[in-house]
A and B are shown apart, each in its own frame.
Chain A
Amino acid sequence: AQRVTQPEKLLSVFKGAPVELKCNYSYSGSPELFWYVQYSRQRLQLLLRHISRESIKGFTADLNKGETSFHLKKPFAQEEDSAMYYCALSRSTGFQKLVFGTGTRLLVSP
């Protein structure tokens, strides 16, 4: 069965501290992994995907197939990073449904 696990409901850090939002998945095959973010009063939007291997807003995520993880990291958190973060997966081909984790709320305090 496809499943995405985000163990932390809330992650609270101070500005300038490193951040790591954890994501583990189970999938029989080669999935595509994503991080979506929802800022306050805004819609859900794609932050990054594993196949693009890019850094967006200072965030990076590396797919670790051995540990079936796709943790989201940022070396220095900013207050504007406060938001709800969702890890998601889909099949790697075509237009496929997304399977989401329960989300982690990141709160960055000044």
Chain B
Amino acid sequence: EAGVTQFPSHSVIEKGQTVTLRCDPISGHDNLYWYRRVMGKEIKFLLHFVKESKQDESGMPNNRFLAERTGGTYSTLKVQPAELEDSGVYFCASSHLTGTGTYEQYFGPGTRLTVT
């Protein structure tokens, strides 16, 4: 079974430019999460999709960030315009209800975003 995939693995852009990150969850996982780790800080929650609906977007830092999950499959996270403080590693995770009643989140490899 393929794991969570993210594209690109690394992106370097200039301040003011736009970047779109993509996440493909594990097939059949309705729940999809975005997290971010800024250097030196903890991994922080950004938002949670259930299928195509935003269940919780309390972690989105500001309106320069836009997440979508059209059709309830893959998700994109767009940053427009990018600022220096947006640099970090963006993780995607997906989860489902297991046979033992747990909700393990499986993480992708992350996208390292560098804004110069």
The answer to whether A44 and B45 have CB atoms under 8 Å apart is no
Q: Which residues of A lie under 8 Å from residue B108 when comparing CB positions?
A: 43
Report if B102 contacts A (CB, 8 A): yes
User: A101: which of B42, B45, B104, B106 is its contact (CB, 8 Å)?
Assistant: B42
What sequence of 0s and 1s flags, for each residue 81-110 of chain A, a beta carbon within 8 Å of any chain B beta carbon? Answer: 000001000000011111111110000000
Q: Are A95 and B103 in contact (CB under 8 A)?
A: yes
Known contacts: A95-B50, A97-B33, A97-B59. The answer to whether A46 contacts B104 by CB under 8 A is: yes
0/1 interface trace, chain B 88-108, chain A, CB 8 Å (1 if under): 000100010100001111111
- Which of A36, A95, A100 has most B Cβ within 10 Å? A95
Give the complex CA separation of A95 and B32 in angstroms.
10
Inter-chain contacts of A74 with B (CB < 8 A): none
Chain B interface size band reads 20 to 34
A95 with B44: CB separation less than 8 A:
no
B-chain residues with CB within 8 Å of residue A94 when the two chains form the complex: 103
User: At the interface, yes or no: A26 with Cβ under 8 Å from chain B?
Assistant: no
- A55 interface contact, C-beta 8 A: no
- Residues of A contacting B95 in the complex (Cβ-Cβ under 8 angstroms): 95
Specify which of A43, A51, A101 is in contact with B109 (CB 8 Å cutoff).
A43
Given contact pairs A96-B103, A101-B42, a sample of 9 additional A-B residue pairs in the complex whose CB atoms are under 8 Å apart: A43-B4, A43-B108, A44-B43, A49-B104, A52-B102, A95-B48, A97-B56, A98-B45, A100-B43
Interface residues of chain A, those whose CB is within 8 Å of chain B, are 4, 36, 43-46, 49, 51-52, 86, 94-103
